[in-house]
C-alpha cells in the first residue's frame, strides 16, 4: 500500500502508522535527518518492561534506536536497529534501559553522524543512582549504520542532572545540546555549545531562565528568528505547549505563549513535541513532529506531524489537521 498523506487521526484516538512492510512504526521521540535525497526517521523502539520496578515512568524500555527511510516522507522502509541495547550487565547499555529523545546531526568536518540522547540507565530510576541522569553520545560514519556508543557525560557541572534533551545544528555548523538541567527543584532548560567534533560539551553555555520547568524542546530558525517549541513537565501525560523566540541561540529568549491554534483542552493536541525538520528544497516549510504517548501500549503510539506557520515575523503557529499532505497544504 502506498501512502500519500500524513494521517494524525482524531484528537482522542491512537492512530499508529505502518511501514512499507505493513509493520507498525515504533520510533519514539526521535527526529528526521535528510541525507543525499533521502529522509531518515529515527527514534527509540519502546517495549513494555517484563517487570516494572516502580509505578511511574518505569513501565517501558527499548530495544534501541531504530531507523526508517523515505523519499517522500509518507512511505517508510525499516532499516533496522542503529543503536542496540546490550545483554552484558557490566555495560552502560545493559537492558532494560532507554535512549530517550535521540537526536542525530552530521558533522561536515569529521564526516560523521553524531547522536546525543537522554540516557536512562534503568527505566524508573531517573537520577537517584549515580550515572542514571546523563547525556549519552554515539557516532557513526553512515547515517543508517550501527552507531558506536562513546559513553555518557554530564554537561556544565556534575550536580546538574540531565533530563529531557535535544540537539540543534546551526547554519554556521555549530551544534548545541539543549537540556532540562535539574538541581533539586530547580529545573530549567540550558543550552550548551558542543566541541567542533560534536562529541563533547564546551564551557560555553546559557541558562534559559524563561524556560523554567519545560522540556521536549524542538527548535527551528526562520527569517531571522529562532523558535523553540516546548512542553511542560508531566512525564508521559499531556500539557499545554509554550513557545519561545530569540534572535540568537545564546541570546535572550522571550516567552510567546501557546502556539497551538484551538487547543481547547490544553494538551498540545493530545501530544508532546519531539522535533522540527524542514521539507527539503521548499523555503519556509517545516514539519513539527509530536507524539501521542500510548501508556497502555507504547508500541502503538501515535505520530502527530503538523505543518508550522509563521503568520507574522517572529511568530509561530500550529493547527491540528487529522490528515494532510505537503503538496496540497503549501500549494
Ligand atoms: C518526559 C518526556 O518528555 C517523555 O517524552 C518521556 O521521555 C518521559 N519523560 C519518560 O519518563
**What is the pLDDT at residue 22?**
97
- Percent with pLDDT over 90 in the chain: 92
* CA proximity to 146, closest of 194, 192, 113: 113
Residue 246 and residue 256 in contact, taking contact as beta carbons nearer than 8 Å: no
Cell triple for 230: 516546548
> What is the rounded distance in angstroms from the CA atom of residue 191 to the CA atom of residue 180?
9
Q: Which residue has the higher pLDDT, 322 or 129?
A: 322
3-state secondary structure 171-199: CCCCEEEEEEEEECCEEEEEEEEECCCCC
Q: Is 298 helix (H, G, I), strand (E, B) or coil?
A: helix
Residue 68 and residue 78 in contact, taking contact as beta carbons nearer than 8 Å: yes
Burial (CB count within 10 angstroms: exposed 0-12, middle 13-18, buried 19+), residue 329: middle
Q: What's the helix, strand, coil split of the chain in %, to 5? A: 0, 50, 45
CB atoms within 10 A of CB 328: 9
Tens digit of each residue's pLDDT (9 = 90 or more) over 259-290: 999 999 999 999 999 999 999 999 999 999 99
**What is the pLDDT at residue 31?**
98
**What is the pLDDT at residue 227?**
98
> What is the rounded distance in angstroms from the CA atom of residue 289 to the CA atom of residue 37?
20
**What is the pLDDT at residue 1?**
83
**What is the pLDDT at residue 299?**
93
Q: Is the predicted pLDDT of residue 131 greater than 90, yes or no?
A: no
Atom index in ligand 1 nearest the CA of residue 101 equals: 7
Confidence class for position 57, pLDDT limits 50, 70, 90 = low
CA dihedral 265, 269, 275, 278 (to 10 degrees): -130
Cell triple for 184: 533539586
**What is the pLDDT at residue 52?**
66
> What is the rounded distance in angstroms from the CA atom of residue 76 to the CA atom of residue 79?
9
Probe target for ligand 1 pocket from 164, 178, 231, 232, with the most ligand atoms within 8 Å of CB: 164
User: In what helix (H) or strand (E) does residue 280 lie, and over which residues does it extend?
Assistant: none
**What is the pLDDT at residue 139?**
98
**What is the pLDDT at residue 282?**
92
Q: Which residue has the higher pLDDT, 296 or 227?
A: 227
Closest residue (by CA) to atom 8 of ligand 1?
A: 235
Tell me the CA–centroid distance for residue 331 and ligand 1, in Å. Answer: 36
> What is the rounded distance in angstroms from the CA atom of residue 31 to the CA atom of residue 43?
7
Residue 181 and residue 165 in contact, taking contact as beta carbons nearer than 8 Å: no
Confidence class for position 182, pLDDT limits 50, 70, 90 = very high
Burial (CB count within 10 angstroms: exposed 0-12, middle 13-18, buried 19+), residue 192: buried
- Taking CB atoms and a 6 Å cutoff, what residues make up the pocket around ligand 1? 29, 57, 100, 164, 215-216, 235-236, 272
Q: Is 313 helix (H, G, I), strand (E, B) or coil?
A: coil
Residue 310 and residue 297 in contact, taking contact as beta carbons nearer than 8 Å: no
Tens digit of each residue's pLDDT (9 = 90 or more) over 183-202: 999 999 999 999 999 999 99
Atom index in ligand 1 nearest the CA of residue 216 equals: 3
Q: Is the predicted pLDDT of residue 133 greater than 70, yes or no?
A: yes
C-alpha Rg value of the chain to the nearest Å:
18
Q: Is the predicted pLDDT of residue 127 greater than 90, yes or no?
A: no
Atom index in ligand 1 nearest the CA of residue 126 equals: 11
Cα–chain-centroid distance for residue 194? Answer: 18
Tell me the CA–centroid distance for residue 44 and ligand 1, in Å. Answer: 12
Average pLDDT value for residue range 31-51 = 94
**What is the pLDDT at residue 184?**
95
Q: Is the predicted pLDDT of residue 123 greater than 90, yes or no?
A: no
Tens digit of each residue's pLDDT (9 = 90 or more) over 298-318: 999 999 999 999 999 999 999
**What is the pLDDT at residue 54?**
61
Cell triple for 196: 567542533
Tens digit of each residue's pLDDT (9 = 90 or more) over 63-87: 999 999 999 999 999 999 999 999 9
| Average pLDDT value over all residues in the chain | 96
- Output the pTM of the full model: 0.97
Amino acid at each position: 500500500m502506498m501512502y500519500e498523506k500524513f494521517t494524525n487521526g482524531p484528537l482522542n484516538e491512537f492512530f499508529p502508522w505502518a511501514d512499507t512492510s505493513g509493520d507498525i512504526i515504533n520510533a519514539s521521540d526521535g527526529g528526521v535527518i535528510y541525507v543525499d535525497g533521502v529522509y531518515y526517521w529515527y527514534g527509540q523502539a519502546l517495549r513494555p518492561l517484563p517487570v516494572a520496578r516502580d509505578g511511574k515512568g518505569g513501565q517501558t524500555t527499548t530495544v534501541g534506536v531504530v531507523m526508517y527511510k523515505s523519499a517522500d516522507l509518507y512511505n517508510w522502509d525499516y532499516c533496522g536497529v542503529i543503536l542496540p541495547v546490550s545483554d552484558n550487565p557490566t555495560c552502560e547499555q545493559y537492558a532494560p534501559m532507554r535512549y530517550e529523545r535521540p537526536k542525530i546531526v552530521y558533522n561536515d568536518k569529521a564526516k560523521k553522524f553524531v547522536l546525543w540522547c537522554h540516557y536512562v540507565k534503568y527505566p524508573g530510576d531517573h537520577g537517584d543512582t549515580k550515572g542514571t541522569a546523563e547525556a549519552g553520545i554515539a557516532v557513526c560514519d553512515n547515517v543508517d549504520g550501527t552507531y558506536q556508543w562513546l559513553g555518557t557525560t554530564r554537561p556544565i557541572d556534575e550536580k546538574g542532572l540531565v533530563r529531557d534533551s535535544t540537539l540543534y545544528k546551526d547554519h554556521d555548523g555549530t551544534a548545541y545540546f539543549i537540556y532540562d538541567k535539574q538541581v533539586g527543584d530547580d529545573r530549567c532548560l540550558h543550552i550548551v555549545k558542543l566541541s567542533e567534533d560534536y562529541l563533547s560539551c564546551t564551557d560555553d553555555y546559557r541558562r534559559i531562565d524563561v524556560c523554567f520547568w519545560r522540556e521536549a524542546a524542538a527548535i527551528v530558525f526562520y527569517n531571522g528568528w529562532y523558535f523553540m517549541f516546548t512542553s511542560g513537565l508531566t512525564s508521559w501525560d499531556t500539557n499545554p505547549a509554550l513557545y519561545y523566540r530569540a534572535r540568537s541561540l545564546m541570546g535572550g529568549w522571550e516567552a510567546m505563549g501557546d502556539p497551538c491554534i484551538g487547543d481547547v483542552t490544553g494538551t498540545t493536541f493530545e501530544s508532546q513535541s519531539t522535533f522540527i525538520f524542514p521539507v527539503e528544497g521548499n523555503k519556509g516549510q517545516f514539519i513539527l513532529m509530536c507524539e501521542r504517548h500510548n501508556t497502555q501500549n507504547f508500541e502503538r503510539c501515535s505520530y502527530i506531524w503538523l505543518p508550522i506557520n509563521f503568520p507574522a515575523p517572529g511568530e509561530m503557529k500550529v493547527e491540528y489537521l487529522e490528515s494532510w499532505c505537503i503538496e496540497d497544504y503549501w500549494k
